[in-house]
Structure 1
Amino acid sequence: MELKAFNIAFAGLKVGQHQFEYEVDNTFFENFGFEEFNSSSLAVTAVLDKRTTIMDLKLTAHGVVNVNCDVTNEPFDLPVEVDMDLVIKFGEEFNDENIELLILPHGEYQFNISQYVYEMIVLSIPQKRVHPGVEDGTLDSEVLDKLDELSVAAPEEKETEQVDPRWDALKKLKTDNN
């Protein structure tokens, strides 16, 4: 998938809202060197609200990415539902340092949203990816069986703990000074 498809040529657009649709899969992420998804299928919508001196862009993405579980290494489909707002202004020079503001040089006629789409989707994926079957106990996996087998049981509390009487004397000093 070529990233040119994510260029939005706003110069010829009338004032008002304009909607752009994109289908994103693994070839899109490969352009950024990102290969953590087994597969991906996402629908991205960009709504550009063009006004005379400023533009607002609302990006939304929904779909699924197939990733491996961090506990069992089993692949599973992780749902993605994310959105992002961006304000586009015009200034002396290009500046995209602020995540919510893009400044384009005067005379510019288009901008590319691929970097914003990429970051929005990748940052929406949780750091720890756990198969839903692990959380609800329905996943039958050799890895989970082995983890249960190797887990150490919590030590049982002793009902009557022997406390050195010297500690009681120190605690008394602490409460006497208050």
Structure 2
Amino acid sequence: MKEIKKYDINLVKLGNKSHGYEFELDNRFFELFEQELILGGNLKAVVELHKSELLLQFDFHIQGTVRLICDRSLEEFEHPLEVEQTLLVRFGPEDLELDVNVLQITPDTQYINIAQHLYDYIGLAIPMKKLHPRFVEEDLELEDDPEAEGLLIYSTGSDGDEEDGDDDGEDDGPVDPRFAALKKLK
């Protein structure tokens, strides 16, 4: 519990101007959250807070690496990250989350903890498909090679059917008896 207090920002002492904060996000930071997505990391978060009478604007810049598990080989690897996000906090009658990046707090709120926001922004920057760098190069080569994957061709009928103007959907070729019975139900 004491570890998470490092990410508290005291709003009472702040004047209406810009304030800068720096946080080192290492393995202990990721241990604060019950999760299996990120094994650890070494990141630096620079948070610029612009305070006015009506609004707090937090500009987050997070840069470094996180340790992930490859989805293909189950090996650990370091994945570089660079995150730029903005969180807006306005004052209102009650504490609410108005949007993903917009919060409302009461004017008498003394502290705001940004640990969860830091974690969420890092988590959102991780790709859906977590691949070790050696597999990323292979995937890029496959994407550039048109013969690497099968060619899918979709056809709704022969070219002559479009020109006939016959839209009843019946073909002149052999019909599966099960479908012939269904056509009789019309």
Deviation at 1:67, TM superposition (A): 1.4
> Please, which moves more after superposition, 48-57 or 31-40?
31-40
Q: Structure 1's 173 and 39: CA in aligned 2 closer, same or farther, altered over 3 A? A: closer
Contiguous gaps of at least 5 residues in structure 2: 139-147, 151-156, 167-186
1:67 aligns with: 68
Q: Structure 1's 31 and 172: CA in aligned 2 closer, same or farther, altered over 3 A? A: same
Q: Structure 1's 33 and 176: CA in aligned 2 closer, same or farther, altered over 3 A? A: same
Q: Structure 1's 177 and 103: CA in aligned 2 closer, same or farther, altered over 3 A? A: same
The code of the aligned residue for 2:23 comes to Y
Deviation at 1:174, TM superposition (A): 3.9
Deviation at 1:154, TM superposition (A): 7.3
Determine if contact 2:11/2:109 at 8 Å carries over to the other structure: no
Q: Structure 1's 130 and 111: CA in aligned 2 closer, same or farther, altered over 3 A? A: same
Q: How does 1:49-60 map to 2 (within 5 A)?
A: 49-60=50-61
The code of the aligned residue for 2:25 comes to V
Encode CA deviations 1:140-176: one digit per residue, 9 max, x unaligned.
xxxxxxxxxxxxx978xxxxxxxxxxx86xx535422
Partners of 1:154 and 1:134 in 2: CA distance: 17
The size of the alignment, in residue pairs, is 151
Q: How does 1:40-119 map to 2 (within 5 A)?
A: 40-119=41-120
2:164 aligns with: 176
Encode CA deviations 1:21-77: one digit per residue, 9 max, x unaligned.
111122222222023333311111111001122111111211101212212222221
Deviation at 1:96, TM superposition (A): 1.8
SS of the residue corresponding to residue 163 of structure 2 reads: helix
